[in-house]
Structure 1
């Protein structure tokens, strides 16, 4: 019988987070338990307790994992857009897909409903770091920096709301299902144009 590959603590933790992410997408946040994740990665309940402490700890770690991956992708897209190699729509789609297709919106709602609000802290902190990192060099004044923060807040809130009720609300208002994304794209396009250096 082949022996199971021994993973480093970091590899084991990452495998568990990826398994949790798959469960989140396939069956929703309520399915992210230590037992379910352990079964996916062939690890014991005790092993996962060592890494995460509890199911709530696992959810918090998953939230941070998702936020880091999404923010890294958004940062790349923003830089590409500024270099003329991408578009504001790509940035918007990454943010919206993170909350919708990747399950971050459902996870955040579940954590709030189950009293695990502090698990949102890593998401908020990661987004804040992203904003500080990608804020245009042209945003030098306090007012300009605050504008970038306000627009990031709006983008995240729109993406979160769209993941939860966007499609149903758009249909009821007679709007296309992409209406929230279209609005966010318009906002981001205007913002980026406002920071274009003078020629």
Structure 2
């Protein structure tokens, strides 16, 4: 029996989200149940419903929690880029950690299939700003007119879509192209994608 204790609303929400995140990582969206999460943190089902409204509300809040965490991590990583050289390999690892190992790609898909739509946006704005500054500098160095910001936004969305697809489909994506299933093919795919994205950052020759 988990001992119940009095806690503030913010503390309760934080504990609930932490417990839900553990269950998501270990068992996917189906493992995130109000009754189980409530038991994990020593609260009643009604208390979880009070804070999040429903299971869908809890799941949506969990995805927003991921978005805040991802954005903060991206800001920290981008600050470490030196000399106009983006660390796209590290970026790929970061997306893989959030979306595959921590299970957030499956959560996003679950919410989409359930019909829950988050109206928020701009989670990758800092990444767009950083990549666009790099592209502008490279184009100017090549004596070319600065690229459109929209093109950098499309490139960022492509990077993001590739990471989500890889996390969700894994071997199925590489098998569809006739590659042998397994870690080697997925590592090769990620390396190839990084090389493509690096070329797209450069000014045309």
Q: Please indicate, yes or no, whether the TM-score normalized by the shorter chain is above 0.5.
A: yes
- Closer, same or farther: CA 85–42 of 1 in aligned 2, 3 Å: farther
The match for 2:198 is 189
Structure 1 runs not aligned, ≥5 long: 195-199
Structure 2 runs not aligned, ≥5 long: 137-144
TM-score (norm 2): 0.78
- Closer, same or farther: CA 136–12 of 1 in aligned 2, 3 Å: same
Contact 1:131 1:149 in 2 (8 A): no
- Note the C-alpha offset of 1:149: 0.8
- Closer, same or farther: CA 132–177 of 1 in aligned 2, 3 Å: closer
Residue 30 (structure 2) pairs with residue 30 (structure 1): yes
The match for 1:130 is 126
Greater shift in the superposed pair: 57-66 or 168-177: 168-177
- Closer, same or farther: CA 131–86 of 1 in aligned 2, 3 Å: closer
**How many corresponding residue pairs?**
188
- Note the C-alpha offset of 1:188: 3.9
Contact 1:92 1:181 in 2 (8 A): yes
Matches within 5 A, 1:10-21: 10-21=10-21
Greater shift in the superposed pair: 163-172 or 86-95: 163-172
Larger radius of gyration: 2
Residue 50 (structure 2) pairs with residue 50 (structure 1): yes
TM-score (norm 1): 0.80
String of CA shifts for 1:66-117, please: whole Å, max 9, x gaps: 111122212222221235898221011101221111111111111122222x
1:159 pairs, out of 163, 169, 172, with 163
- Note the C-alpha offset of 1:33: 2.1
Residue 66 (structure 2) pairs with residue 62 (structure 1): no
